[in-house]
Structure formats: C-alpha cells, structure tokens
Amino acid sequence: MISIFNFSINLLIVVCLFIYFIFITIDFNLKNIEYFLILIIVFNSFNKIYIWSNFRVFIKKDLNKIFREILFNVSFTKLNIIILSTLIPIYMLIQKDILVVDILIEKASFLLVSFFALIGFYLEFFILEVTKIDD
C-alpha cells in the first residue's frame, strides 16, 4: 500500500513538472502550480524519510561490480533520489525569477529539471527495493 502511494505521488510530481514545462513553453504562467509542486515535493520528501527509516531498502537489480560498489550503493542512491527529485525542482521553482534571465533558458532549465526528476523516479522505483524492517 505504501509503495503504491509513494509511486503515485512521485508519478504525480513528474507529470506536474512536465505540465509546468509545457505551460511555460506556451508562455502560460501559473503561480499556483509552482506552489502546488513545492508543497507536494516537500510532502513527498517527508514520505521518503518515513519509508526509508521504517522499511529495509536494498538494490534489487544486479548491476556490474564497479557501479554496484561505487555508484549504486543504497546511501548514494538515496542521496541521488533526494537531490534529483526533491532539491533540484524546489530550488528551480523558488529561484526561477532570480536565476532565469531569458525565456529560452527558463524552458531549457525546466526541461532539465523534468529530466532529472524522471531519473530520480526511475532510481527509486526500478533500482531500489523497499521491504518492512523486522524489529
């Protein structure tokens, strides 16, 4: 049940980021979507912390030895997920007016943010496995 809820929230974030990208591409700016995205991303971060602290997390795919030892250990993958699917979108949404000087740069930036969120989504749901911790 928790994994379906977590999957749904993450999928909603990726879809909303893509919709936001489409809206800024057609020069249709909605401040409410920005606030909704920030709110749901923060909620999702607390949900991830809860799941990772109460369930056992391990890598379910057998990757080659170098990637398994260096890049895809559980802690590094968790850090990647937090950065890609939480910190980058929140930072970009909050700092958008200060960081972006051109509409083309804004569109490219949100395309990258959507791409990074998609990578974080893939890492969390297709690389990591979450199981209940036995006390």
Q: What pLDDT is stored for residue 55 in this prediction?
A: 78
- Give the model confidence (pLDDT) of 22-45 as tens digits: 887 776 767 777 888 888 888 888
Percent of the chain topping pLDDT 70: 84
**HEC secondary structure over the chain:** CHHHHHHHHHHHHHHHHHHHHHHHHCCCCCHHHHHHHHHHHHHHHHHHHHHHHHEEEEECCCCCHHHHHHHCCHHHHHHHHHHHHHHHHHHHHHHHHHHCCCHHHHHHHHHHHHHHHHHHHHHHHHHEEEEECCC
Computed over every residue of the chain, the mean pLDDT equals 78
Would you say the pTM of this structure is higher than 0.85? no
Tens-place pLDDT, residues 75-106: 777 887 888 888 888 888 888 777 767 777 77
